[in-house]
Amino acid sequence: MTRPEHEPSPQDDAARAGWLSYVGGLTQDQIAAELGVSRQRAQRLVSRAMAEGLIHVRLNHRIGACLDLEARLTDRFGLTRCRVVPGLGAGGDPVRAISPAAAAELERFLGMAEPLTVALGTGRALRGMVDAMTPMDADQHRLVSLIGNIAPDGSASFFDVVMRIADKVRAPHYPMPVPVISPTPEENAAFHALPPVRRVIDLARAADVVFVGVGQMSGDAPLLKDGFVSRSELDEMQAAGAVGEVAGWVYDSAGIYLDLGTNRRTGGVRVAPGLPRPAIGIAGGPSKVAAIAAALQSRILNGLVTDEPTAQAILNR
């Protein structure tokens, strides 16, 4: 049976319960009375609102331990920007922890009156950042992708974020119309020679600020899980010392890009080490510590948004 257009759905009830809790400040007993449900049902609805991302919480108080970690990371790696947020405890998802802070960092740039070109990578962390953003009008800026948006099967890459951000901020956007990784270096070069692609590449290389995720190159590498590299290609790059990737470009423990494997077929623009403008990594979690540390060491990244356990692990290396 089709639900009438305006009949409340279970998600509607969860959203209302979340609103009453986090905006209205009502207790669970008060929410139960307001919605006409049991206290246990009210508790489940509030939990669902949080679990489904219907409620975004931003911490206004800067915790002292996090501030100390920010200062230490900034001092060690010469960072231009650094945000460290509390972790979510054992088993907590680092992406959920860092997404609100990452969104606030991007919103800070998009709120500037002077027109900027913002270059963006892909991945779960950047998707989380976009989902946590507040809609705004920022049509004075331009958004450009650093990495191809075509998956191996010809579909749009699932974690591409440029169009998702553009929907939220109503800014002109420029996807990178090439495969994430081409089958051969020759095909990759042919794509890059096309005039429309050249224009997007030139725009990305001249970006005023860069936001990227950081991928690990261990057995659970995102490039492998998402079907962009084969197991044999991953083995080859691991044997050459690969520990991480930014925008699809793979580097070793010193943060030096490898001249082999998929790096010879990667589409889009490589984030050059030592950029004179912000290049901010959005990443957290134990599996990413080595990759983040290497990118900071070589200054592929000069900014970072991460969580407390990850920050401490980087400093302990």
Dist. CA 90–CA 65, nearest whole Å: 18
Q: What pLDDT is attached to residue 82? A: 97
Q: What is the CATH number of the domain that holds 219?
A: 3.40.50.1360
Residue 287 phi/psi, 5° resolution? -70, -15
Residue 254 covered by a domain:
yes
Segments of the chain with pLDDT less than 50: 1-6
- Does residue 178 share a domain with residue 47? no
Contacts of 256 (CB under 8 A, 6+ apart): 298
Residue 283 covered by a domain:
yes
β-bridge partners, 176: 148
Half-sphere exposure at residue 14, Cβ-oriented, CA atoms within 13 angstroms: 14
- Does residue 200 share a domain with residue 286? yes
- Does residue 177 share a domain with residue 31? no
- Does residue 42 share a domain with residue 110? no
Angle at 313 between CA 63 and CA 255, to 5 degrees: 120
Dist. CA 59–CA 24, nearest whole Å: 17
Residue 264 covered by a domain:
yes
Residue 58 covered by a domain:
no
- Does residue 282 share a domain with residue 190? yes
Residue 122 covered by a domain:
yes
Q: What pLDDT is attached to residue 158? A: 64
In terms of residue numbers, what domain contains 126? Answer: 64-316
Residue 59 covered by a domain:
no
Q: What pLDDT is attached to residue 1? A: 41
Domain count along the chain: 2
Residue 4 covered by a domain:
no
Contacts of 247 (CB under 8 A, 6+ apart): 121, 122, 146, 147, 212, 268, 269, 270, 271
- Does residue 159 share a domain with residue 91? yes
User: Over pLDDT 90: what percentage of the chain?
Assistant: 71
CA distances from 128 to 133, 139, 215 (A): 9, 22, 15
Residue 5 covered by a domain:
no
- Does residue 190 share a domain with residue 90? yes
- Does residue 127 share a domain with residue 21? no
- Does residue 286 share a domain with residue 137? yes
Q: What pLDDT is attached to residue 157? A: 65
Q: What is the CATH number of the domain that holds 40?
A: 1.10.10
Closest by CA to 182, choosing from 225, 246, 228, 144, is 228
- Does residue 99 share a domain with residue 227? yes
Task: Give the 3-state secondary structure of 88-154.
Answer: CCCCCCHHHHHHHHHHHHHHHHHCCCCCCEEEECCCHHHHHHHHCCCCCCCCCCEEEEEEEEECCCC
Phi-psi region of 53 (alpha: psi -120 to 50; beta: other; left: phi over 0): left
pLDDT in tens, 243-255: 999 999 999 999 9
Q: What pLDDT is attached to residue 145? A: 96
Helix (H) or strand (E) holding 245: strand 242-246
Q: Which residue has the tokens 């080859």?
A: 236
Using an 8 Å Cβ cutoff, are 250 and 274 in contact? no
pTM, to two decimals: 0.84
- Does residue 212 share a domain with residue 126? yes
- Does residue 137 share a domain with residue 46? no
- The distance from CA 103 to its chain's CA centroid, rounded to whole angstroms, is 9
